[in-house]
Amino acid sequence: MAEEEEKDPKATEFTIIATLSSLSPPQLSNFTISISSLFHRHCCRITAVVSSPSLFSLTLHHLNSLSLSQKSILIAHHLLSTLSPLSLLLHPTSAAPSAKYSNLHNLDAVLLLLLLCEIRQHNPLSLETPISDWRQVLCKYISGNMLTLSYAGLSNITVLSRYVMMVGKCRRFLYLMGFSRSKEVGAAAAAVVALPSVAVEGGRECVVCKEEMGKGRDVCKLPCGHLFHWICILPWLKKRNSCPCCRFRLPSDDVFGEIERLWEIIANKAAGTVVNCYRECV
């Protein structure tokens, strides 16, 4: 699926659509409401930025001061914040650690970046003007598309299709930036601290050290149910956020690692949905 997505960006959109189609009607309705309200808040924010000459100038200056990799981190955080509600629906214990970028300054910058991309896509020549005229171009675009941008009165299907396009656009952007899926990341400290200790009667083997987990040695239980000596699993989780037995992923503090973790939950659901559809058809 990974290579396929890099070659064919439509595969990302297909994965999201397959996952959305697996939700029950109430789940889909709640999800649509939460996404509309998130996008509506973003629309209000970018409208405020573009309406204020000083705030616009400050945000554009901040955006211009960022390197390409810093911009990709902003996009990644934005993508993560929009994937989280869907992965939480599919896997209620998959809550991500709170986003670290969530200051208004960075939110304004990423919203402006996405709006500039959208405008350029809409009309490639519209930004071929002096930068001093950009605010006027953006104001004109926002006022001409206010209903669509604010999500006011849009049908559920329109909201969802815009969500699918937005996720696809962000993932394509990250691939263009050279985002690698294979990088290993450690588990988030908060997720490790929250792991429970359990009592074991003996007879079970810790797969890391191959020794028995008997009484008197502290044993940790991962959310997937697999048990390990604390002393064995801690160094492992410092380097990798996956279970040594089943590759279940714990949250990570790395934004790209988090995107992969949540994407894996979504893609697994999509794969199950496609297989089920196929079975029903044959």
| Binders in 121-140 for Zn ion, by CB under 5 A | none
Q: DSSP class of residue 151? A: T
Rg (CA), the chain: 22
Residue 186 CB, shortest distance to Zn ion, in Å, is 17
**Candidates 1-9, 137-145, 176-184, 245-253; binding stretch for Zn ion (CB under 5 A):** 245-253
Q: Is 209 in the site for Zn ion (CB under 5 A)?
A: yes
C-alpha separations of 149 from 124, 142, 191 in Å: 19, 7, 36
Residue 216 CB, shortest distance to Zn ion, in Å, is 13
185-223 residues labelled b (16+ CB within 10 A) or e (exposed): bbbbeebbeebeeeebeeeeebeeeeeebeeeeebbebb
| Binders in 59-78 for Zn ion, by CB under 5 A | none
User: For the chain, first and last CA: distance in Å?
Assistant: 23
Residue 87 CB, shortest distance to Zn ion, in Å, is 18
Count of residues that bind Zn ion according to CB under 5 A: 11
Residue choice 224, 239, 275, 277 for contact with Zn ion (CB under 5 A): 224
Residue choice 9, 85, 226, 227 for contact with Zn ion (CB under 5 A): 226
Residue 247 CB, shortest distance to Zn ion, in Å, is 7
Residue 241 CB, shortest distance to Zn ion, in Å, is 12
C-alpha separations of 141 from 34, 144, 149, 172, 231 in Å: 25, 5, 10, 24, 58
Distance of CA 243 to the CA centre of its chain: 21
Q: Is 2 in the site for Zn ion (CB under 5 A)?
A: no
Query: Which CB, 80 or 200, lies closer to Zn ion?
Result: 200
**Candidates 44-52, 121-129, 190-198, 204-212; binding stretch for Zn ion (CB under 5 A):** 204-212
CA–CA gap between residue 23 and residue 38 (Å, rounded): 19
Q: Is 232 in the site for Zn ion (CB under 5 A)?
A: yes
| Binders in 247-266 for Zn ion, by CB under 5 A | 248
Half-sphere exposure of 124 (CA within 13 A, CB side): 0
For the chain, count helices (H), then strands (E): 12, 3
Residue 120: which of 137, 133, 108 has the closest Cα? 137
Q: Is 198 in the site for Zn ion (CB under 5 A)?
A: no
Residue 250 CB, shortest distance to Zn ion, in Å, is 10
Residue 206 CB, shortest distance to Zn ion, in Å, is 3
For the chain, what percentages of helix, strand and coil (3-state, to nearest 5) are there? 65, 5, 30
Q: Is 243 in the site for Zn ion (CB under 5 A)?
A: yes
Residue choice 229, 249, 261, 269 for contact with Zn ion (CB under 5 A): 229
Query: Which CB, 172 or 226, lies closer to Zn ion?
Result: 226
For binding to Zn ion (CB under 5 A), which residues are involved? 206, 208-209, 224, 226, 229, 232, 243, 245-246, 248
